[in-house]
Amino acid sequence: MKIVMLGAPGAGKGTQAKMISAKYGVPHISTGDIFRANIKNGTELGEKAKKYMDQGLLVPDELTLALIMDRFAQDDCKNGYVLDGFPRTIAQAEALTKSLKDNGDALDMAIDVDVPDENIIERMGGRRACVNCGGTYHILFNPPHRAGFCDLCGGELSIRKDDLPETVKKRLTVYHEQTQPLIDYYTGEGILRTVDGTKDVNEVFAAITELLA
């Protein structure tokens, strides 16, 4: 099974990708992990990516795709993979489709974890992290025993800049402009499947396993 996960930031697609990986024994592949692994191992592609990252620049699509295709060629991908965080744009999706086709390969399914914007703003805006130990909470779904303080170490809880409502709204705007068109693209490819991401994590996963049955 060769799957790409789609969904807005905070939709839970990363969590679902990890659960698919664990159940079906295929690797969960994210671009961040690929960059880190190649930089750590000092590969030629990793060194090229590091030059961009050290300058605070985005790694070019061509280089990112080369890293992903190199990852697909590794032994643990022989039974498939779950790709998370790429592609983010139509250009990236088209390039991925072409690279796979050139290798006589193709994706089996694109799974969209669909969550309305208002739910995402509520989810992410309610997240809190401990300034001391990094413990994570949610004021609605996983509150600490004592409001504002970590259960583990008693440290103060704070909201990350990424989770501030205005930041989340900006991220969602970028998602709708750049990434949501992928839903139309993969619909056109005939491989898009959609699950309701507003449900409980396990219910969402149950819906995904039905699609993969």
Domain chopping of the chain, boundaries: 2-26+79-212
Q: What CATH superfamily is the domain 2-26+79-212?
A: P-loop containing nucleotide triphosphate hydrolases (3.40.50.300)
For residue 137, the 8-state DSSP code is E
Determine which one of 71, 123, 127, 128 is catalytic.
Answer: 127
Which of 4-8, 15-19, 77-81, 120-124 shows the lowest per-residue confidence on average (mean pLDDT)? Answer: 120-124
Number of H helices, E strands in the chain: 9, 8
DSSP-H helix ranges across 81-198: 90-102, 117-125, 165-174, 181-188
Query: Residue 164: what pLDDT?
Result: 87
171 is catalytic: yes
Residues 6+ apart with CB under 8 A from 162: 124, 168, 171
88 is catalytic: yes
Q: From residue 87, how far is each of 77, 92, 134, 141, 173 by CA, in Å?
A: 18, 5, 30, 30, 17
123 is catalytic: no
pLDDT, mean over the chain: 92
Q: What is the tens place of the pLDDT at every residue in 189-209?
A: 999 999 999 999 999 999 999
Query: Residue 114: what pLDDT?
Result: 95
128 is catalytic: no
Determine which one of 13, 71, 123, 128 is catalytic.
Answer: 13
CA 192 to chain CA mean position, Å: 16
Q: Would you call 192 helix, strand, or coil by DSSP?
A: strand
Has residue 101 got a pLDDT over 90? yes
161 is catalytic: no
Query: Residue 109: what pLDDT?
Result: 97
Provide long-range contacts, Cβ within 8 A and 24+ apart, for 202-207: 204/12, 204/16, 204/113, 205/16, 205/19, 205/20
Determine which one of 48, 50, 171, 199 is catalytic.
Answer: 171
Q: Take residue 143 and report the two structure tokens written for it.
A: 């509150």
Predicted structure pTM score? 0.84
